C-alpha cells in the first residue's frame, strides 16, 4: 500500500478579525480534508509557516509587523514552491506586481471585496497543481 500522501494544508493570514474568521471557517467547511491555519499578521504568519509548512498561503498585503510582501519573500526563501493567493484592496494587480517586483511568483491575485467563489476557484487550481 503506497504511503499516505501528506495532508495538504493552507494558511490564511489576515489582520481583520471577522474577515479572517469567515474565510477560515468557510474554507474549512468547503475543503474538510485540508488543514487550515490562521495568522493575524506577517510575523505570526511566518512563525506558523515554519511550524506547519502549509502548501498554500492566502494572505492580505497590508498588515502590521511584517507586511504581506515581506512575509511572502521570507517564505519563498524557505519553501520556493509554496502557492500564493494574495488578497488586495488597493488597485488590485498593479500594486502587487510592483510590490513584489520579479522576485516572487504570485499564483493568484484576488481583489477586495473578496468573492468567495473566486477564492474557491483559486484554491482548487492550486490544489490541482499540488496533487499532480
Q: Which residues make up the interface to other proteins (CB under 8 A)?
A: 16, 18-19, 22-23, 25-26, 29-30, 62-64, 89, 112-116
Closer to other proteins by Cβ: residue 105 or 118? 118
CB of 31 to other proteins, least distance (A): 11
Report how far apart, in Å, the C-alpha atoms of 36 and of each of 7, 25, 60, 77, 91 are: 11, 9, 16, 22, 28
CB of 2 to other proteins, least distance (A): 31
CB of 92 to other proteins, least distance (A): 12
CB of 132 to other proteins, least distance (A): 27
Closer to other proteins by Cβ: residue 16 or 107? 16
Q: Which pairs with CB-CB distance under 8 Å and at least 24 residues apart come from 100-107?
A: 100/69, 100/72, 100/73, 103/73, 103/76, 104/72, 104/73, 104/76, 107/83
Inter-residue contact 108 to 84 (CB < 8 Å)? yes
Closer to other proteins by Cβ: residue 15 or 53? 15
Inter-residue contact 123 to 114 (CB < 8 Å)? no
Closer to other proteins by Cβ: residue 116 or 121? 116
Amino acid at each position: 500500500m503506497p504511503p499516505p500522501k501528506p495532508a495538504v494544508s493552507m494558511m490564511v493570514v489576515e489582520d481583520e478579525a471577522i474577515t479572517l474568521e469567515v474565510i477560515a471557517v468557510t474554507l474549512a467547511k468547503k475543503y474538510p480534508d485540508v488543514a487550515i491555519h490562521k495568522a493575524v499578521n506577517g510575523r505570526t504568519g511566518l512563525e506558523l509557516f515554519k511550524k506547519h509548512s502549509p502548501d498554500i498561503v492566502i494572505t492580505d498585503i497590508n498588515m502590521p509587523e511584517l507586511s504581506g510582501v515581506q512575509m511572502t519573500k521570507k517564505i519563498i526563501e524557505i519553501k520556493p514552491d509554496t502557492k500564493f493567493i494574495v488578497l488586495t484592496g488597493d488597485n488590485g494587480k498593479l500594486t502587487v506586481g510592483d510590490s513584489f517586483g520579479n522576485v516572487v511568483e504570485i499564483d493568484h491575485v484576488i481583489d477586495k471585496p473578496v468573492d468567495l467563489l473566486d477564492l474557491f476557484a483559486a484554491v482548487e487550481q492550486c490544489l490541482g497543481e499540488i496533487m499532480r
